[in-house]
Chains A and B, each alone.
Chain A
């Protein structure tokens, strides 16, 4: 029993975002009632429509704390710290925690809580941020709020829900919008929140060992404006990208951009100070960053990920035989200077 405590595996936490009416409650009810052999504690803002009486559903008022370190983007959710601490005193009752945010919530403080609070971090592990999008109303949402866009930009998994309420052509446009906002996310289309729960839970999206391993096509396409996610179901080889890019330029309500960088083998003595400086100075503009870095003379792949000014990196696994030693990095954010990022990233390359 003692050893179980000291070596207890961190409990995975899934953050569920999405506008009112996007289908969060339907998805939660499925997670709570379907027979998948796992039990989840759910932290909700309001009990609302959840029809299931379960003592593992906890209501919590959103309470944003700014940290006293002078950094405006260093925010955490105080209520989550308290509730997670309480839940984790009796950890045997559940296999994971799901945090449902309000429609207008900024997902960043929720995610940062799991990195910045030592107690929470010691016992839990952020698994993935999942955004539900209402296919019918997304264009309108993007017009009236920045939050809708932030939620997509910040997500690891985007579920385009209510796909039965739009035409296939409209659905294609919605998917393009989502991918334009966030080329690194896995995107699924569904109706009545009917997504396979295996695509939502236990994703390991923030786990450096697993995160990018699960994305075999991560940045494979290397096109600046359109990088397909791993589950893009359109045919890459015959697809007319230009056509789509033309369509996307008509989307005026997107303020988030992504910058995908690709380079050769890096010099660690240049790369680390560079990424530190970028995240320090550009932190408030960076929602997410993910990358695989090939360092010169290093037999292992190095993976990095970040949220605002928080950045983590570690060796992931040895390069496979025949695998191209190249470095790839994607930034999702606002007001990013693409040319400058490209040039400074290139400058970190090791001399041949």
Chain B
């Protein structure tokens, strides 16, 4: 039976990420709590809006209501990357060579390691940001589609159009697909590895009873798991056409209890599913076998993160009742 080490924080906890074997819990009030032989606190923002883990270094990137973009190192030290006074920074992304993207209003900005910043204006507000897995390229989700920009070139952006408001964006690990979450209860996908000039290949992933707020790719990119239903909805991306014409898996189905966060295991095709009541299940893709990792708690699960070896799962909650689950025990 897995053991849970609880960490009770005050208020909404946005995210949790591991740096080394230390989980960092990001609180909406602006502080980071890291469980490193005790609860250690780093003051970061006056109101935190978003946190991601930099996949290229042992650090986190955060954005806040104070207009700051910050980097948080493994020792808990905080350094400022950029600041936009009186703007809310609700989107950040980290790319290769120390590049950091952030957005406010109708622009994406990319700050390069040498300190220069490039701006990529859009016609509408940027709602989601992601770096491509290969090359120095960003995707900006906005109303009616996504714009793809090469950072180093003054080329025109590639516009992927689909009517409606796109509120989040993610690339598949191999870079062959791009998927957005939408204001309506749906995901939309584009196949990217098409011949230049060929007609766009769309993937419509609909049927959710609620908005999709959490997405996670499996380790080899064969599956994309999503929240937004009383189960994790897991779309197959093994074939060259992705989920087109295929039905998704529904894992960890519960009666009318919504899944709010999903996170694939770093080594195996096992999915952690967090629910609105605080319960967490782990489900194996191969046989849909479920294991209860945490009983319902005080609030909805907002985020989860696996340690590198996949033995620890840290979770964050809307009500502040966070913790770390040891599944090897």
Residues on A lying within 8 angstroms of B by beta carbon are 1-2, 5, 47, 55, 58-61, 63, 65-69, 76, 78-79, 81-83, 86, 89-90, 92, 117-119
Contact = CB atoms under 8 A, between A and B. Distances in A.
Contacts of B106: 61
Interface of B: 11-12, 14, 28-29, 46-47, 49, 65-66, 86-88, 90, 105-106, 124-125, 127, 143, 163-165, 167, 183-184, 210-211, 298-299, 318-320
B14 A89 contact: yes
Decide if the interface of chain A is mainly helix, strand, loop or mixed. mixed
A118 B212 CA distance: 12
B299 A63 contact: no
21 contacts: A5-B298, A47-B86, A58-B65, A59-B86, A61-B105, A63-B124, A63-B125, A65-B165, A65-B183, A67-B184, A68-B163, A78-B125, A78-B127, A78-B167, A81-B183, A86-B49, A86-B88, A89-B12, A89-B318, A90-B47, A118-B211
Contacts of A69: 184
Given A58-B88, A81-B183, A82-B90, A90 B11 contact: yes
Given A61-B106, A65-B143, A90 B125 contact: no
B143 A2 contact: no
Nearest to B64: A86
A55 B65 contact: yes
A55 B211 contact: no
B125 A86 contact: no
Contacts of A65: 143, 164-165, 183
Contacts of B319: 1-2, 5
A44 to B, nearest CB: 10
A5 B298 CA distance: 8
A242 B240 CA distance: 76
Given A65-B183, A68-B163, A86-B65, A5 B318 contact: yes
A280 B45 CA distance: 47
A57 to B, nearest CB: 8
Given A1-B298, A82-B90, A55 B125 contact: no
With most chain B CB atoms within 10 A of its CB, the pick from A68, A79, A119 is A68
A82 B105 CA distance: 12
Given A5-B319, A78-B165, A89-B12, A61 B125 contact: yes
